[in-house]
Amino acid sequence: MKAKRIAGEKAAEYVKDGMVVGLGTGSTAYWAVKKVGEMVKEGLNIRAVPTSEETKELAEDLNIPLVSLADVNYIDLTIDGADEVDSNLNLIKGGGGALVREKIVAFHSKKLIIIVDESKIVDKLGAFPLPVEVVHFGADKTLITLEKFDCQPKLRKENGELFNTDNHNYIIDCNFEVIENPKKLNNELNELPGVVETGLFVEMADRVIVGTNEGELNIIE
């Protein structure tokens, strides 16, 4: 908890007056959004684009002014979490199920700051199952196709029911164990009919802020 909070609050320091800010989703991004809310209360003037309905509700509760992505030309800075970060700052995201909106917002951002605790730093991606968002139609066939990648794909469930994203799609979690070439895999998966997007964020992060439970911060550029 402490590691996530200090990383999130440190990232909020990069938010400046007049910015359009992308607000990420998840247990670490939560702390950044909370801090930004405090800054807005103290007079910070920003507009924010949330990456999920969950984050939208949190931001509204904190009175952070929200806009849609269609209302802005670009986003100055997005702050988001990650499930894994490798030595090249490639990411696995989507544990919270918001990967498509997160990737769209990140793509249209001038800067992407990722906030994590130290447990998320890995040499190579893949120990965390890779989320792949797929459309409902033919999802069983998409899952069979993904089996050819030798990744033990499973449709995500929540409370015994199939998990639905904010975009009304399913998520298939793929256990690759080790991903040797994230860029190649991302491209191959995105070519499959039925796949909307993968949780591989390749060459997108500009800065990673790592918090530790001892209260220390490590910033990787």
What is the distance between the alpha carbons of residues 194 and 107, in angstroms, rounded to a whole number? 21
What is the distance between the alpha carbons of residues 37 and 22, in angstroms, rounded to a whole number? 13
In 10 A of CB 69, how many CB atoms? 16
What is the distance between the alpha carbons of residues 84 and 97, in angstroms, rounded to a whole number? 15
Q: Which of 9, 84, 102, 197 is catalytic?
A: 102
Q: Are 182 and 194 in contact (CB under 8 A)?
A: no
CA distance readout (Å), 70 to 44, 49, 66, 97, 196: 23, 10, 12, 22, 20
Q: Are 8 and 14 in contact (CB under 8 A)?
A: no
In 3-state terms, what secondary structure has residue 2?
helix
Q: Which two tokens stand for residue 200?
A: 């591989």
What is the distance between the alpha carbons of residues 192 and 178, in angstroms, rounded to a whole number? 21
Nearest CA among 116, 114, 84 for reference residue 102: 114
102 catalytic per annotation: yes
As annotated, the active-site residues are 102
